[in-house]
């Protein structure tokens, strides 16, 4: 039996949102085969009828947990993302059979969350540099990224899940590599790699200036700004987009500059 703990996808700091529904817990399935696991709350109690999303390069589908929080699914493609929204945690095991020296062997690969998640040391409300284009167009936008946190707390590589546009893509990537974390730890208290979803938000430059907000940080008052697409009765709309989670599988990694 071979046991393998993969990198774990955990929720990141959404700049000023405290809504637990924005949190995401999951993992990239360690192999193809029959995947089973459980969803639990913060106290370890099973979460019944939780919706689990399974994403591959071919598409996505959802399944739900039973009354005891267990789920079962067939994983037929490598690099399969399995995740659940909310203030919960998800584990899983993929069971496959393989032939070794003419004998069939059952291989179990476990996907377990760290005993302690990576802790953010950087200020999540910091606004990266504004580009000339976003100032000229007076836009409100955000970037969603997947960051890989090394066992030393340094961001080693990133993926752009949602591109902010307005000449901000490179700025988002650059500032993602500036983030600092206390690394995740396994059950023996050893620091390990992990992955986290992170967002940068650029409020409307002129909205910030007119209200005399500190343009280095997203103000809590931004939560009162209506989301884009909510109606034509406001002059300013906030970008309330969620991360494009299928891009966790499909987007290319960007390595840390040497």
- pLDDT tens digit sequence for 19-59: 444 677 888 776 677 888 899 987 889 999 999 998 888 88
Q: Is residue 19 part of a domain?
A: no
Residues 250 and 131 in one domain: yes
Question: Number of H helices and number of E strands within the chain?
Answer: 4, 17
Confidence at residue 85, expressed as pLDDT on a 0 to 100 scale: 84
Does a structural domain hold residue 241?
Answer: yes
Q: Are residues 243 and 124 in the same domain?
A: yes
128 and 251 assigned to the same domain: yes
Burial 17-41 (b: 16+ CB within 10 A, else e): beeeebbbbbbbbbbebebebbbbe
The domain of 86 spans: 8-13+24-111
197 shares its domain with 96: no
Domain endpoint, select from 80, 111, 142: 111
Q: What integer pLDDT is reported at residue 18 of this predicted model?
A: 43
Same domain as 75, residue 183 = no
Q: 149 in the Ramachandran plot: left (φ > 0), alpha (ψ -120 to 50) or beta?
A: beta
Query: Which phi and psi (to 5°) does residue 154 adopt?
Result: -95, 145
Q: Provide the H-helix boundaries in 45-196.
A: 132-137, 169-176
pLDDT for the residue 19: 46
Are residues 95 and 35 part of one domain?
Answer: yes
pLDDT, position 32? 73
Residues 6+ apart with CB under 8 A from 56: 76, 77, 79, 80, 81, 249
**pLDDT tens-digit profile of 227-243?**
987 777 667 899 988 88
Judgement on whether residues 45 and 165 belong to the same structural domain of the protein: no
Spatial distance between the Cα atoms of 55 and 29, rounded to a whole number of angstroms: 10
Bridge partners of 95?
Answer: 34, 108
Structural domain total, the chain: 2
Specify the pLDDT at position 96.
56
Sign for the CA dihedral angle at 140, 143, 13, 176 comes to negative
Residues 220 and 93 placed together within one structural domain of the fold: no
Mean pLDDT per 10-residue interval, the chain, length 258 residues: 39 39 72 83 90 87 94 83 84 63 53 76 92 96 92 95 97 96 88 87 95 91 87 81 86 93
| Cβ atoms 65, 45 nearer than 8 A | no
Do 87 and 164 reside in the same domain of the chain?
Answer: no
Does any domain span residue 2?
A: no
Question: Model pTM?
Answer: 0.79
């Amino acid at each position: 039996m071979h046991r393998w703990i993969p990198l774990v996808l955990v929720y990141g700091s959404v700049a000023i949102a405290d809504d637990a529904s924005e949190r995401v817990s999951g993992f990239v399935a360690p192999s193809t085969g029959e995947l089973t696991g459980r969803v639990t709350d913060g106290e370890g109690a099973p979460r019944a009828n939780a919706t689990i999303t399974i994403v591959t390069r071919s598409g996505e589908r959802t399944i739900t947990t039973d009354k005891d929080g267990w789920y079962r699914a067939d994983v037929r493609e490598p690099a399969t993302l399995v995740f659940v929204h909310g203030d919960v945690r998800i584990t899983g095991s993929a069971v496959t059979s393989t032939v070794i020296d003419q004998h069939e062997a059952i291989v179990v690969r476990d996907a377990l969350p760290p005993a302690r998640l990576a802790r953010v040391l950087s200020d999540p409300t910091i606004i990266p540099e504004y580009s000339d284009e976003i100032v000229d167009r007076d836009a409100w936008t955000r970037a969603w990224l997947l960051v890989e946190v090394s066992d030393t707390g340094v961001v080693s590589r990133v993926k752009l899940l949602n591109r902010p546009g307005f000449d901000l893509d490179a700025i988002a990537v650059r500032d993602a590599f500036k983030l600092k974390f206390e690394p995740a730890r396994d059950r023996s208290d050893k620091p390990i790699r992990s992955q986290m979803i992170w967002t940068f938000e650029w409020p409307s430059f002129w909205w910030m200036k007119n209200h005399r907000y500190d343009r280095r940080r997203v103000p809590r008052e931004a939560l009162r700004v209506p989301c884009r697409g909510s109606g034509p009765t406001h002059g300013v709309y906030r970008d309330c987009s969620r991360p494009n989670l299928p891009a966790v599988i499909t987007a290319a990694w960007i390595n840390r500059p040497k």
